[in-house]
Amino acid sequence: MDFIFLRYCCNLVESLFAKSIFVQLFFNVVCLSIARVETVMKLGNAADTIRFGSFTFAQAAHIFVLCLPGQRLLNHSEEVYNAACEAMWYIFPKKCHNLYKFLLARTLVFSKITAFKVATMSMKTFLAVNTFYRDSFYTMLRLYIILL
């Protein structure tokens, strides 16, 4: 019963907040890009570097906070699947074997929160965004140093 209610709540959250999460993620990525470019451009001024650097950190933290509930939901879905697989199905009554097959089939589909069906909100998404911007930041930094 708890699993059915959780599935209902997940679908409700997904339908209500998918567009909102997408817009938040989009603007966070845009602000993160601008802040990292400004951080590199203002390397000569310590106050501006700290200001834009802290803004960059805040944007990355906000993306982390957006991705964390989705990761927790994925982890919980995986725990339900593992619990279903570890059940001692062979001691169930014969009438329950078909129900157990349905349970296994249903737990194969993990619950997830997506940003408008474009990106799954998880630590994998957070890591992909940060890896991309970390690499581009170092590239911009190297170009800035070469041009000086």
Q: DSSP labels for 26-91?
A: HHHHHHHHHHHHHHHHTTT-HHHHHHHHHHHHHHHHHHHHHHHHHHHHHHHHHHHHHHHHHS-GGG
Tell whether the model's pLDDT for residue 62 goes beyond 90. Answer: yes
pLDDT, average across residues 100-111? 88
Q: What is the mean pLDDT of the chain?
A: 88
The yes-or-no verdict on residue 45 having pLDDT over 80 is yes
| pTM, entire model | 0.82
pLDDT band (50, 70, 90) for residue 1: low
Percentage of the chain beyond pLDDT 70 is 99
- Check whether 63 has a pLDDT greater than 80: yes
